[in-house]
Amino acid sequence: MICSKLIELVPSAIMAAFLAYIAYQQMAINKRKLNLDLYNKRFSVYTDTLRFYQELVGEKVSQETHRSFIASKEASRFLFSEDPSIFKLLDLMHSESFKITGFKKHGKELSRTPEFVKGVEISQEKLFWFGEQLTELKNKMSPYLNQ
């Protein structure tokens, strides 16, 4: 009698073990998907910053690129919450970029004045600085992107 009751429980135990295995596999898949999504969002912060820099070097920064950079900068506050220096660096890069875009936009108004030469120097200095900060950003982000 006890033996027959144990035999009746075996299929239930096997089914429970099988369901536990499936649940574990689903959990592992969801964790990998979360990590991939985080990687993609974090990498997008870097690529948006790189695109912003490339347009800073060029003639003009498009509104779309500037907005993408701002959105990525703000998202970095949460995506890299363990390292707030990433957000601070992106925020500083954003504020310093106005010294480049402002001169490009209004530099012609200053042509043939001493302020023009000063504006060219500041703009070039900030452009060079921005390029250096990309290396710094890459170093700060590498632990998050090399997982």
Closest by Cα among 38, 42, 53 to 87:
42
pTM: 0.79
Assess whether pLDDT exceeds 70 at residue 67: yes
In terms of C-beta density within 10 A (0-12 exposed, 13-18 middle, 19 or more buried), how is residue 1 classed?
exposed
Predicted pLDDT at 104 = 77
Query: How far apart are alpha carbons 117 and 97 in whole angstroms?
Result: 18
For the chain, the average pLDDT equals: 88
In terms of C-beta density within 10 A (0-12 exposed, 13-18 middle, 19 or more buried), how is residue 135 classed?
exposed
Q: H-type helices in 58-113, by residue range? A: 63-79, 84-106
Assess whether pLDDT exceeds 90 at residue 4: no
Assess whether pLDDT exceeds 70 at residue 87: yes
Assess whether pLDDT exceeds 70 at residue 96: yes
Q: For 21-61, how does the pLDDT look when each residue is reduced to its tens digit (9 = 90+)?
A: 999 999 999 999 998 999 999 999 999 999 999 999 988 89
**3-state secondary structure (DSSP) of residue 146:** coil
